[in-house]
Amino acid sequence: MTEARNPGADAERRLGVAAAQRAQFDAAIGHFRAALGSDPDNAELLNELGTATLAAGRPADAADTFRRAIARRADFAPAHFNLGAALESQGMAAEAVQSFRLCVRLAPGAEAAHVRLGMSLLQLGQPAEAEACFQRALQLTPQYPTLIHDSLGLAYERQGRIEDAIAAYRRAMQLDPGFAEAHNNLGAILLSAGRFDEARVAFRRFAELRCAAVPPGGVARMPPQKERHDREQLDYLLSGAIEPAATERIRAATGAKFNRLPGVLHIEGGARSAGLAIDPANDSAAIEARWRGAEPKIVVVDNLLTPDALDALRRFCWGSTIWGKIYDGGYLGTFPDYGFLSPLLMQISDELVRKFPGIFADHALKQCWAFKYDSALHGIGIHADFAAVNVNFWITPDDANLDPEHGGLVIYDMPAPLDWDFRKYNKDEQGIADFLARSGAKSVTVPYRANRTVIFDSDLFHATDRIAFREGYRNRRINVTLLYGDRQLAAAAP
């Protein structure tokens, strides 16, 4: 039932609603506060004020406002729902679950509350309960069936029900072929299952949808390192380095400014090599023997790829417009969901596992990426990766490197503690530095060489060495990383 309105507050409320619809949230907040001055106990007004405050990016203040609304009307389901959303946005999943449960109890037919409750339960590691929430949402008259099936896929996946998860993602895509997240989730689970060709198709479609979502005219502002890279890449693409038809398509799509390119996906080459990708001259027995004797587990292999495979991988990385992940350090990244999962890369991975079974054992490929660096800036700080074995190789020609004794990788002889979570060992550089200092850790510097590969225990902390590369697009330092296995399972193995 709608509360009786105070005539003095109603006009301000209408102005607040109109401002919120125009995304003028600060103005909306002012109008709702003015309305509450005349009607301070109105729970609906407090809920609207909280909603505008949350939209303005102030979730803690919004949560306080929703609590005020609930204090005036304990059975006001929308305020419980919105409080859950405010808590969830602050990373308070357990508290959010309580609010969503209250909303569901008060409004059993509220589909969105069942869905948000399920999502919060997923964050808490309770996928079976989350599944029940999503199934209940489907039993209602769902307004968002695509989202629910996609969420069900996540719940199934986290219960280890891989085929059910794949079916759920495919159902979401069937309901809405343009629902990008389902393509991404499908690609990720297919990659983890070793179904690389299917994963590549799903990721490629996700990348296309991501590009299609860029507004007409492109992105107005990007970090300087991204704009600089994109201008250099445009010059390269329009210089005759790729097929004329592709050149003209890119020219027509970008016009005079390359910062419009985020809406253009071009994959240059990347097909499997007709011959071997891993150079057969590499002595697998000797390399595996070095791995067994290494402590810590670090092995350097020069000339890993055949010349043809190296050349093809360079052309793929130079010509493909897949460098969309922007990092503050000045480097750009590409991942499978940006279009990086090429058949050539999968060939390299397959041959690695077959050639060095003593290193990779039963470890499956879990993730892959590449980074491209701005020579004027710095690289990746100290971190560890969530895997058992890390394969890192460099492909930029040696004459681009101005400092042959550096430009590669620094690896420490100390692994990340198993009780650290991903954010701690991957992002907390100060905490990592303090840990390494306390532990008396020593480092190994592997200088940069083109076609040099470093295979190491992914638990070991590592960082990009200082870099000094020549200016110019094809001189940008590029490293490719393949991750295999699970660090926790590897640590538990006898």
- Domain extents for the chain? 7-212, 267-492
119 contacts: CB under 8 Å, gap ≥ 6: 88, 130, 151
The dihedrals phi and psi of 44, each to the nearest 5 degrees, come to -65, -40
The stretches in the chain having pLDDT less than 50 are 1-4, 256-260
* Secondary structure (DSSP) of 451-462: TEEEEEETTEEE
Reported CATH class of domain 267-492? mainly beta
Question: Strand (E) positions, 313-458?
Answer: 325-326, 331-334, 365-373, 389-394, 409-415, 443-446, 452-457
DSSP-assigned beta bridge partners for residue 412: 443
Give the model's pLDDT for residue 6: 65
State the pLDDT at residue 273. Answer: 95
- Residue of 321, 369, 326 lying closest to 211 (CA atoms): 321
- Looking at residue 39, its pLDDT comes to 87
Alpha helices in 159-283 (DSSP H): 162-175, 180-192, 196-212, 224-236, 244-254
C-alpha separations of 459 from 351, 371, 380 in Å: 23, 20, 16
Sheet with strand 460-464: strands edge to edge = 443-446, 409-415, 460-464
Q: Which tokens in the block code for residue 417?
A: 């503690």
Closest CA to 176 of 149, 202, 158: 149
User: What is the four-CA torsion angle of 62, 63, 68, 70, rounded to 10 degrees?
Assistant: 120
CA distance 478 to 394: 6
Determine contact, residues 330/298, Cβ cutoff 8 Å: no
What is the distance between the alpha carbons of residues 478 and 371, in angstroms, rounded to a whole number?
6
Please give the helix or strand (H or E) that residue 227 lies within, else none: helix 224-236
Contact (CB, 8 A) for 122 and 130: yes
Model pLDDT, residue 262: 55
Partnered with residue 299 across adjacent β-strands are 455
The CATH number of the structural domain formed by 7-212 is: 1.25.40.10
Integer Cα distance of 328 and 46 in angstroms:
39
Q: Take residue 21 and report the two structure tokens written for it.
A: 């619809």
Give me 366's structure tokens.
Answer: 């879990």
Residues in the chain, total? 494
Q: Is 172 helix (H, G, I), strand (E, B) or coil?
A: helix
269: number of Cβ within 10 Å: 19
Task: List b or e across 291-316, with b for residues whose CB sees 16 or more CB atoms inside 10 angstroms.
Answer: beeeeebbbbbebbbbeebbebbbbb
Cα 88 versus chain centre, distance: 19
Distance, in Å, from the CA atom of 211 to the CA atom of 180, rounded to the nearest integer, reads 11
Half-sphere exposure of 133 (CA within 13 A, CB side): 29
- Dig out the tokens for 474 from the structure: 């094809």
Per DSSP, 373 falls in state E
How high is the pLDDT of residue 216? 59
The CA distance from 469 to 398, in Å, is 9
Angle between helices 25-38 and 7-21 (to 10 degrees): 170
